[in-house]
Structure 1
Amino acid sequence: MLISLENYWDRNAVERLLAECMMADEERVREEVDRYLAEDSRELQGTFIDGELAGLIGIRRGPGTEAEILHIAVQTRWRGRGIGAAMIGELRKCGGIETLQAETDREAVGFYSHCGFKISSLGEKYPGVERFSCKYT
């Protein structure tokens, strides 16, 4: 079950988990959480196991039933159990989203492919770093 993290009491837990997928310093992570809270088009939702934040997914809604995954992260000890795929599935079912897209690196292509996304290369977006477009319709 996905729960909005807008009013979640433990912002530190949210920031720690978001930092895992952002690979950014603390200030940039705090700024990103602030953007989720301030911008109406953005949503940050989480899933819990035994009352603990186990995973989160951040999206930006587009026109109509489109959305883009901006961030997705699962705590290290919970990875490999289908939590990320379940968050995407629930978002699609309950979020009124028909077209979902993401941009990722080679490391996460298998995950998105397993979730049913069509993958296409964006080429070398940064020197030496190939990026990929992932789209689910």
Structure 2
Amino acid sequence: MLKDITTQAMQQEVKELLEYSVFPDPEAVERAVSSYQTGESRLFGYEEDGLLVGVIGFDVEQDELTIRHIAVLPENRGKGYGRGMILELLLELQPKPDRVIAETDEETVDFYRNIGFEVYSQGEKYPGVERFRCIYEVEESEE
């Protein structure tokens, strides 16, 4: 079940999950936590059987949802939690965004590609690190 955990960003289990989605540096984790504490971004968590298995941090501006962080516990990867968090978030948000945007590295680009995102290389944004912009156009559901 997906729920808003923005106010719980300082909890250790949340910080540990966020650590999987940022450069492995304590300062990067603290910057991510700070963005949720200040209200710049929102953070949702996915719980199953009382265990926090994933987090998704995001911003919504006008008609775009931008994923800032997404992470799933390593032992739960490949089970559809990442995709499920994105889809459930799209169902919850009102009004619904027209597109979802994420920026990622080469290691994670296939995750986005496999769930329908168009992927565009941004080249080396950092020395030796190619970054990718992933865009998903949300379709209107037929009622």
Give me the TM-score of the superposition, normalised by structure 1: 0.89
Which structure is higher in helix share?
1
Q: Partners in 1 of 2:37 and 2:92 — Cα distance?
A: 21
Q: Partners in 1 of 2:58 and 2:123 — Cα distance?
A: 23
Deviation at 1:55, TM superposition (A): 0.1
Q: How do residues 24-103 of structure 1 correspond to structure 2 at under 5 angstroms?
A: 24-39=24-39, 41-62=40-61, 64-95=62-93, 96-103=96-103
Q: Partners in 1 of 2:5 and 2:22 — Cα distance?
A: 17
Deviation at 1:9, TM superposition (A): 8.9
Deviation at 1:4, TM superposition (A): 0.5
Give me the TM-score of the superposition, normalised by structure 2: 0.86
Aligned residues: 135
Structure 2 unpaired stretches of 5+? 138-143
Structure-2 residue corresponding to 1:128: 128
> What percentage of residue pairs aligned between the two structures are identical?
41
Structure 1 unpaired stretches of 5+? none
Cα RMSD after superposing both structures: 1.7
Q: Are the equivalent residues in 2 in contact too, given 1:91–1:97 (CA < 8 A)?
A: no
Q: What are the superposed Cα offsets for residues 102-135 of structure 1, whole Å, 9 maximum, x if unpaired?
A: 1111111110011111111111211221111100
